[in-house]
Structures are given as C-alpha cells and as structure tokens.
Amino acid sequence: MHTLKAKSEVYQRIAKLQAMADIKIMVDSPDVFICTAAMNANEFYEGRGDRTQFFNLILEANPGLVPDLARKLKLVTQTNYLGCKLYNDKISKPDRVNGRTIYKLWLHCCRVHEVLTLEQMIAFQPHAEEKLRVYDRFVDAEGKTTLNMAEYMEHRRALA
C-alpha cells in the first residue's frame, strides 16, 4: 500500500519538474515567437497553474536577463498568437491577471530592476492602468508608499 503512494508521489514530482522545465524554456526563449512555439508544443494550461509558475519564475529571476519580457507578458494574456493556440484549457480567459500579481510584477520589473516601463505594464494589463499609475507615483523600490507623500495624502483624502 505504501509503495503505491510513494510511486504516485514520485511520478507527481517528476511531472511537476517537467512542467517547470517547459516554463523555464518559455522564460529563457530569445523572443516571443519561440515562446509561442514552446507554449503550443508543451501544452500550456491556465487552470493547471502554468501561467502562475511563469510569473513566479520571472519574480525569482533578474528580469533584465529575460529576453523580450514585455512581449512575453502580453503573450500569456492572449489565447491565440499568429494563428497558434496558446492555451490547452477548454475554457481559458487569460486576459486578466490577479491584482497582487500585477503589483509584484510591476514592483520587480519596473521599480526595482527598471527593465519595463509603466507603458509596457499598462499594455500587459490595460484594465489596471489607474492602479499602475498610482503605484508609479507613490511606491518606492521597497514597496512602501513614501514617494511624493504630500501628493499621496491628498490622493487618499480625495478617495475617502
């Protein structure tokens, strides 16, 4: 009984490592076109957490070393690219990303490493434009709202 459980756990871990290797190929690919081919060939799933793992790899790495990062971020929010189906989920709506993830990516890529511009982040998630502009005006590289304090306090009063 215990050996079947152990075998199952080993197989699950091997599958997880393979999925991470596939996602690492996407992150390391030299451009968005090869990334598209990798997504298509490696059965990229939104519901399985592949996109979240993709974001986590970017957050763990130096985004300056990720080629064509802005276009790759935009790519994972689309269902098709140049006629290639990107996601293998039956129902996939990858256009919106969780607000916390957007903030983490913005802080890591725009403020800390200064690899992406605010406009590139807005192109990645247009629905979060207002929040991204607020982050850009008031949040420092440590993630604290210490920039332009007088303007920030006025902004808070206006929201209240």
Give the residue ranges of DSSP H helices in the chain: 2-28, 32-41, 50-60, 69-75, 99-106, 118-124, 129-138, 149-159
132 by Cβ neighbours in 10 Å (0-12 / 13-18 / 19+) ranks as buried
What's phi and psi for 49, nearest 5 deg? 95, 10
Q: Comparing 43-57, 59-73, 123-137, which segment has the lowest mean pLDDT?
A: 43-57
- Alpha-carbon gap, residue 150 to 134, rounded angstroms: 14
Residues 105 and 91 reside in one and the same domain:
no
Other C-beta atoms lying within 10 Å of the C-beta of residue 127: 12
Q: Token pair for residue 87?
A: 């996601």
Is the pLDDT reported for residue 28 higher than 80? Answer: yes
Average pLDDT in the 57-75 region? Answer: 93
Structural domain including 140 reads 96-160
What percent of the chain lies above the pLDDT cut of 70?
A: 92
Residues 12 and 67 reside in one and the same domain:
yes
Average pLDDT in the 62-91 region? Answer: 89
Average pLDDT in the 73-90 region? Answer: 87
Residues 43 and 73 reside in one and the same domain:
yes
Question: Taking a C-beta distance cutoff of 8 angstroms, is the pair 88, 38 a contact?
Answer: no
Is the pLDDT reported for residue 11 higher than 70? Answer: no
Average pLDDT in the 128-148 region? Answer: 90
Q: Comparing 32-36, 50-54, 152-156, which segment has the lowest mean pLDDT?
A: 152-156
Of 66, 95, 124, which residue sits at a domain end?
Answer: 95
Say which residue, 89 or 127, is predicted with more confidence. 127
Is the pLDDT reported for residue 15 higher than 70? Answer: no
Residues 101 and 75 reside in one and the same domain:
no
Average pLDDT in the 130-153 region? Answer: 89
Average pLDDT in the 97-110 region? Answer: 95
Of 95, 127, 150, which residue sits at a domain end?
Answer: 95
Question: Taking a C-beta distance cutoff of 8 angstroms, is the pair 54, 23 a contact?
Answer: yes
Say which residue, 10 or 87, is predicted with more confidence. 87
- At 20 the pLDDT is 67
Cα angle, residue 60 at apex, residues 55 and 62 outer, rounded to 5°:
105
Residues 103 and 38 reside in one and the same domain:
no
Is the pLDDT reported for residue 56 higher than 90? Answer: yes
Domain count along the chain: 2
Residues 40 and 21 reside in one and the same domain:
yes
pTM of the model: 0.81
